[in-house]
Structure 1
């Protein structure tokens, strides 16, 4: 399981989540930040510091937010 960054992050450049991630699985994309679902260790540190409350555990995503999990997977697949 993984945490997922959702719509409230679009256009934001805060990055607190990047600073606290112990495994460096969060990267900045063109419009928002993404969490690598293969590297995320489910620690929740990122969720605790998100100033726009955009980070949710994969299991807690609303149906309309599931596309952000897919976007994260696509982002990291393209980065390989």
Structure 2
């Protein structure tokens, strides 16, 4: 299991979660942040610091945002598992889901 960042993060990117993450598994896209599902250790440190309540434990993701679960894996797949977001530049593009959600 992993944590997922959903719709409330779109166009916000507060980054409090990035600062709190002990394993550096939160990657930046142009419009939102993504938690790498292979690097997340399920510590939950990111969830309470999110000012817009965009971070959810995978099983607690609201039904209207379930598309965000596979979106993170899909958008981060080309990176593999680099072992930390600080080692890679921001992503060039967000997941196409964002085009459909506004």
Q: Secondary structure in 2 aligned to 1:56?
A: strand
Instruction: For structure 1, list consecutive stretches of 5 or more residues without a partner in the other structure.
Output: none
1:79 and 1:31 map into 2 onto residues whose CA distance is 18
What root-mean-square deviation, in Å, do the aligned CA atoms of Structure 1 and Structure 2 show? 0.9
Per-residue CA shift, 1:33-70, capped at 9, x if unaligned? Answer: 00001111111100010000000000111222111011
Instruction: For structure 2, list consecutive stretches of 5 or more residues without a partner in the other structure.
Output: 81-102
Structure 1 runs of 4+ off > 2 angstroms? none
Larger Rg: 2
1:8 and 1:76 map into 2 onto residues whose CA distance is 19
Per-residue CA shift, 1:6-41, capped at 9, x if unaligned? Answer: 000000131010011011100111110000011111
Taking structure 1 as the reference length, what is the TM-score of the superposition?
0.93
Taking structure 2 as the reference length, what is the TM-score of the superposition?
0.74
Q: May I ask how many residue pairs the two structures share in their alignment?
A: 80
